[in-house]
Chains A and B, each alone.
Chain A
């Protein structure tokens, strides 16, 4: 009789388990939340097309199911394998950023896109996940004391600043800031001392006015328009005004599915992408918006739960970072729609029309589920 293998506390310690057991260990509540959000997206895109499954809703739901399969497949990969290749993926991410900068498609004055095997990808989206993995694997081995050493932090800082710099060059200010914030979150989770964060924030506060002068014209225009939306009623400010009218006209209960006047009359251009939330808010009202907000926060919360529940530091840090990435997507998009921060071209994940952000988010969720499935995995040799 082998009491070791029957250990109640660590039933799967030191060995992997079968595919079926793994599959059952996936957090199905999480998958349910994700599918519910995709369902909301289907309804919103159906409405955006004036009550038709084409051209947005059907295509998007097909992409979602493809991504869902990919997510579940990644969940089956041992988290230790993911940890092992984390620096390779990081290097690939950097390489892609350089390639897209040199040869990528230009859209709206910025080089962000590249096409791989017919699929448009945005390397900056992938880079965020790869950065989380690389940082987590770096801090995974570090003791609490070691992290107190500023020189130990320098390589991590460099690992953050290199992709941030490349993304700024594209130029894509919004994603660069988000990438930096995600890196900072992982360092926070790793136990980097509070005063070091305070110092960096102070430096940024001082440097901000200088940086402002180096912003591109359209980036400055966004900030100026945000400060005074009336200044350019037909440009960027127009979107903010129309977006607020759509939200506000929704009221408590909404105008009803397919009955939002602002949506149906096309006051908002490209509403199926960045401004998709206005459709939900106008047609389903405050109650509907809060329900969607609740679903989005559930996803963030489950990611946080996964982080705390993980027995290994790598999983904790990665889950924290992935949760933060999703949270920042939601935060930037919703704040933009409500006119709280300058318009930034960030979609609402799982709901907006478009494949690039969806793929990147679901890739992260695959890793998140792998952490959950392999939450008890023991890493072989580790430093202390």
Chain B
């Protein structure tokens, strides 16, 4: 074996070296084991016994929502709840059985807990039961040895002091669903809530905050020995809404039992000072889970309590649309402030006759008078003269029929038809459609918030956008100052003529809203009434007064009013709709009057402190 004479001894030498190296490394591992298992046994045995540091995340406190003066609109209420750390327990099912003997769990709750146990990371505890009663707490504490991994702690639930009055605007929170909890682990924490509507949804991320953690040592039985570290996390930011809770309460009170909506804006900034939608619901029910009978009741209610009608309710504007039609005609020169048109009580186009209210002949009148007495025939002719597209263009400029980019979810843009819109939907646009467009009937649909925006823009001449968030974490947001908004691209003289007409509506005996004039010395309101049909009148109805309390509730026309005050220095704008309220002048205008009266007297616009307090604070030493 000549070839092996050198190779074999060399191999054997090197193999022996490899063997020695391997033995050395095994020796080192053995030595290390000796150190860990024998020398440091005491230290690790203690760690194992008392043991084992477990960390769990804790939900941050959700940020408060307040009105502009700091009145709490959404707060947190502490309660006791039981959590379960499954990671520390060999047999979670047995613990659950023991727990349910002390604190009864419904089959639904039990199923939810088991789903959570299978879907949560180990450092996320699972909620067993919220809102523990004292006897339940005591039972858990006494039975701690049988309940390894069960923790009782203080949790927070969302409370809404104003209840239904602000359910739509402030919104509500609910438990995140399984899919949401999977996308963001923090949402899986017991106590975490997610905003579903209103400001709660719009500012959800700011309100959530950052989670903290608790590090605890638990012994072999899963009992907590001591807390090692605690960090309560960063609470969510305080969201200060522009609302004035006093004005809001008045709005809800004024709507009373009527279905409808009322909005008050700061005409110079677009800040929403009040926003009410009726009927409403109890927002705190969502935090605990809505009982199915209540839910089914909401779904069956023809007045749609869950819908925020102020931002997503769609209504024909009726005569409140006339200022928009007039501004379009003024802009394109088909109408001047001095143009005289004649009303004979009806207007015939082709073979179709369009009537004025009650078939009354108003005679030869100008624009301001036409607004004052709300003459339909005048506006039939104006609309026909200017055309549907130009009306739509002016409506968009005033905030109607467009996305207002509001900081509230689910707002509807509404609709102002154009020729192109009709063509895209296969609607044949006849001149008659343009005629009814002149009085805000037909295809046009507006939301109360858009109505309020329109009247605020006419009042201030600024292109204000409605918004509800005034401060985030104390920081004043853009849009809170009139200088944040550009002026409208509308001739001031045209706006002045319209305002003059709207002044006469309220402040002259012939005006349609004279009965709703303000009773404050030297302050006047200007506005426009509207009474909008909700269905096509039958021939018989056309022969008589279509506006009749003998009609079924759902067939009665909607009453509308838009207005602003003070007339000579506009600051507050209001839009009110009373569903099936008959005459706008009788149903909606008094509500607007009450709201604007409160606004003028308390003057919340531009302030962070109520009127009286502002003065005393200024003099007080800080």
Contacts and interface: CB of A to CB of B under 8 A. Distances in A.
Contact of A301 (B4, B19, B29, B49): B19
A305 B10 CA distance: 15
A143 interface: yes
A228 interface: no
Contact of B7 (A265, A286, A297, A313): A313
Contact of A286 (B8, B12, B38): B38
A299 to B, nearest CB: 11
Contacts of B44: 244-245, 247-249
B37 A252 contact: yes
B52 interface: yes
Interface string B42-70: 01110111011101000000000000000
A338 B32 contact: yes
Contacts of B87: 266-267
A307 to B, nearest CB: 5
Given A290-B30, A334-B29, A261 B220 contact: yes
A190 B3 CA distance: 13
A249 B3 contact: no
Nearest to B32: A338
Given A248-B44, A313-B4, A293 B29 contact: yes
A143 B7 CA distance: 7
A50 interface: yes
Contact of B48 (A143, A245, A334, A382): A245
Interface in A195-253: 233-234, 242, 244-252
Nearest to A262: B48
Given A191-B11, A245-B48, A143 B18 contact: no
A234 B15 contact: no
Interface stretch (B20-28, B356-364, B441-449, B523-531): B20-28
Contact of A382 (B3, B18, B26, B29): B3
Contacts of A249: 41, 44-45, 47-49
B123 interface: yes
Given A248-B44, A331-B25, A316 B30 contact: no
B21 to A, nearest CB: 9
| Dominant secondary structure at the B interface | helix
A115 interface: no
A189 B10 CA distance: 8
A264 B6 CA distance: 56
Contacts of A286: 33-34, 37-38
Given A247-B44, A248-B36, A265 B29 contact: no
Contacts of B41: 248-252
A211 B32 CA distance: 30
A57 to B, nearest CB: 18
A283 to B, nearest CB: 12
B90 A247 contact: no
A335 interface: yes
Nearest to A290: B30
A248 B43 contact: yes
Given A252-B37, A261-B220, A289-B33, A245 B51 contact: yes
Given A248-B40, A261-B48, A307 B15 contact: yes
B15 A308 contact: yes
B535 interface: no
B7 A144 contact: yes
A293 B7 contact: no
A32 interface: no
A282 to B, nearest CB: 8
Contact of B19 (A234, A250, A265, A304): A304
A5 B278 CA distance: 111
A188 interface: yes
Contacts of A285: 37
A377 interface: no
A11 to B, nearest CB: 16
B493 interface: no
A304 B18 contact: yes
B10 A144 contact: yes
A96 interface: no
Given A245-B47, A252-B37, A384 B2 contact: yes
B37 A189 contact: no
B11 A313 contact: yes
A78 B16 CA distance: 27
Interface centre among B4, B10, B22, B88, by most chain A C-beta atoms within 10 angstroms, is B22
A327 interface: yes
Contacts, number: 141
Interface string A290-324: 10010011001100100110010100110010001
B36 A247 contact: yes
A319 B258 CA distance: 93
A343 B37 CA distance: 20
B37 A300 contact: no
A293 B10 contact: no
A382 B44 CA distance: 59
B6 to A, nearest CB: 4
Given A293-B29, A331-B29, A382-B3, A248 B14 contact: no
A344 to B, nearest CB: 15
Interface string B101-124: 000000000000000000000110
A137 to B, nearest CB: 15
Interface string A264-287: 111101000000000001000110
Nearest to A249: B48
A290 B26 CA distance: 10
Contact of A297 (B1, B10, B23, B48): B23
Interface in A33-54: 50
A273 B524 CA distance: 83
A119 to B, nearest CB: 29
A99 interface: no
Contact of B14 (A188, A261, A289, A313): A188
A191 B3 CA distance: 13
A27 interface: no
Contacts of A110: none
A88 interface: no
A340 interface: yes
A242 B51 CA distance: 10
A190 to B, nearest CB: 8
Interface in B432-450: none
A293 B26 contact: yes
Contacts of A316: 8, 11, 15
Contact of A242 (B2, B29, B38, B52): B52
A324 B19 CA distance: 9
Contacts of A356: none
A300 B22 contact: yes
Interface in B189-226: 220, 222
A79 to B, nearest CB: 16
Contacts of B15: 189, 304, 307-308, 316, 320
Contacts of A289: 33, 37
A47 to B, nearest CB: 13
Contacts of B32: 338, 340
Interface in A42-88: 50
A264 B221 CA distance: 11
12 contacts: A144-B7, A245-B51, A248-B41, A252-B38, A265-B88, A269-B122, A293-B30, A293-B33, A307-B11, A313-B8, A327-B22, A340-B32
Interface of A: 50, 143-144, 185, 188-191, 233-234, 242, 244-252, 261-262, 264-267, 269, 281, 285-286, 289-290, 293, 296-297, 300-301, 304, 307-308, 311, 313, 316-317, 320, 324, 327, 330-331, 334-335, 338, 340, 382, 384
Given A248-B47, A265-B220, 11 more contacts: A50-B90, A143-B7, A189-B18, A191-B10, A247-B37, A249-B45, A265-B52, A265-B222, A293-B29, A293-B33, A296-B26
| Closest 10 pairs (CB-CB, A-B) | A248-B44, A249-B48, A286-B37, A144-B6, A251-B41, A261-B220, A249-B45, A304-B19, A248-B36, A247-B36
